[in-house]
Structure 1
Amino acid sequence: MKKVLIVCGNGLGSSFIVEMNVKKILAELNKQAEVTHTDLTSAKSEQADLIISANDIAEQLAGHPAPVFGLSNLLDNGRIKAILAENL
């Protein structure tokens, strides 16, 4: 099963909200994936098939083996849906 990792600076509020939105969007798309959230430091050593974060965090994850998608607005569910539909 594919793993989607949601990353924010502290791994608390914003990444948890995005995780809930990603789970809803995956259900709408009829796709399955493991979805978790974490902080920037932990994300650097975590395995994932896809990473979603804010643009500033995405820049700091540039060396990660998984594709990293930065969002200018973490609540842009339309953009999140497009990312998931094209990459899972």
Structure 2
Amino acid sequence: MTCSEPVNDGFQVKLTGDQVKFIRNVLGESQAKFAKRFAISSATMWRIEDKGPEECTGPEIILIDQLAKRYSMPVPDVLMRRPDPAEAAE
């Protein structure tokens, strides 16, 4: 999959926190630099990425999705997460 496609209403775009982090990492940007690009705080960017597999919506998500499309960036539907070492030890 490339990026999420708008759902039935034609305006709602959803990306997971993991997908947002993937896009940022592909571009090689820090959270602060990536947040500034979308006129949001670093704390807001951290909260978006911290949602992990949970879907996020909002104007910044629409802009991030458009950025990924602009660069023809293939964004996976599901991103593989490495297991938490603390959980693996149990």
Pairwise same-fold verdict (TM > 0.5): no
Larger Rg: 2
The TM-score, its normalising length taken from structure 2, stands at 0.27
Higher relative contact order (CA closer than 8 Å, sequence separation 6+): 2
